[in-house]
Amino acid sequence: MADSTPQLKRKREGAEAQRKKARMQKMAEAGAGQDMEVAATPAKSTPKPKQTPKPTPKSKAASNATPKTPKANSANDGAVSKSKAKKQKSKGSADWSVSSAQGGCFLPRDPVFSADEKFILLATQKALEIYVAETSLLAYKLPVSGSGEVTAYALSATDANRVYVAESTGLITLWDWVSRQKIGRWDIGATVRNMTVITHSDEDLVYCHEPGKSHIVNVHALRTGAQASTTELKPILKTSSNILDIQVLLQGRFVVVACGDSLMVGKRQKQSKTAVQDFEYVWRELKFAQRITTFHTYVRDPAEVTGKPAKSVQDHRDIIDIAIGDISGVLLLFEDILSSFAAIESTQKGGKTRADNAESLRPKKLHWHRDAIGSVKWSLDGKHFQ
């Protein structure tokens, strides 16, 4: 214990000396900082006594005129600032525009491609819009007039640069959609819901579905120029069922009409006669258990089925395949439906319109959809549909 006491004493003295040295160092650093602040602060100059200048005598008129100058300047400055604000506001408003109320709301119609597939024609309620296929950008619009709305449209079969546009007011307008010029306009007195155009004797025939108390399919020969007075109309179908869509095949030899729960196929009679008033169709109707939501047809070359080309016109027969989608999600495929009709007709006798159960034709069922089929389309080669 005696030996350890001096060691502890020396340790305490050494620790106190270190603490004292640290305190002295901190005090020295603090003093140096205060000196730097004093050196950075500029010295105040000794104030000089103010000298009051003697006022120069002015006339009464001069004293009254002096304060008016700044008022005029302030008024001018205010006018300049207001004019600048107006210019900036007008310049900013020129950079903005408001689109129409119906912008972006497309009709539930299939898009139409131009002949070269460089443009897509789509319709809103107030205009037919032309889009560039490569960029998907809007090129321009073909607006309807007045309070009318677009209800249907179809390209001309004789001139790919022309398009028929039907309006809710009963008007049909023929546009040159490339030059954006109106070529003709006709008031048919009915609203068109579906429209298809075919070529007949080097002119357009427009097949129109016109709803009303009954649903009617009319054939219109809409002519322009010197032949405008010879415009013709021929009804080919009248039904109480709501028509979903129509397709015209083989230049009018066959017409397929889809209704709520039925499909009607019409075959034209007297095909050697070319007058519009001679257009007569014999109809065959198929009844379905579920409501039809969409359909699409494909005309097949007989050589695809037989593997041999037809030797003569008599040997040539028409082969039509129809794909149908219904509300339950089922896809039905009717292959060569005309031969199925012929087999049924050989055992039946009756009038022009005959109804059959669709199941009796034994279609192929493709059922992998959970909901109703929205759309079905055949490929161009007819090898598949989707």
Look at the block and give the residue holding tokens 């207001």.
82
Long-range interactions of 95-100: CB distance < 8 A, separation 24+: 100/126
Collapsing DSSP to helix, strand or coil, 314 comes out as coil
**61: Cβ–Cβ under 8 A, 6 or more apart, which residues?**
none
Per residue in 179-196, is it b (16+ CB within 10 Å) or e — as a string?
eeeebbebebebbbbbbb
Three-state secondary structure string covering 169-182: CCEEEEEECCCCEE
**Listed residue (334, 333, 329) closest to 374, CA to CA:** 329
Q: What is the pLDDT of residue 2?
A: 47
Alpha-carbon distance 304 to 319, whole Å? Answer: 10
Burial of 287 (0-12, 13-18, 19+ CB in 10 A): middle
Structure tokens at 113: 């491609």
| Domain spans, the chain | 148-287, 292-385
CATH fold of 148-287, please?
Answer: Methylamine Dehydrogenase; Chain H (2.130.10)
Q: What is the pLDDT of residue 59?
A: 45
pLDDT along the chain (386 residues), means of 10: 62 80 77 52 48 48 45 51 55 63 75 94 94 94 90 96 96 96 94 95 94 95 81 94 95 95 94 90 94 95 69 72 95 93 75 72 88 91 88
Q: What is the pLDDT of residue 268?
A: 95
Structure tokens at 362: 């034994």
Structure tokens at 245: 């869509």
Alpha-carbon distance 251 to 216, whole Å? Answer: 20
Strand 353-357 to 280-287 pairing = parallel
Alpha-carbon distance 247 to 229, whole Å? Answer: 28
Alpha-carbon distance 263 to 325, whole Å? Answer: 12
pTM above 0.85, yes or no: no
Query: CA geometry: angle at 16 spanning 15 and 17, to 5°?
Result: 90
**Listed residue (197, 196, 192) closest to 169, CA to CA:** 192
Q: What is the pLDDT of residue 11?
A: 76
Cβ contact 367:330 at 8 Å: yes
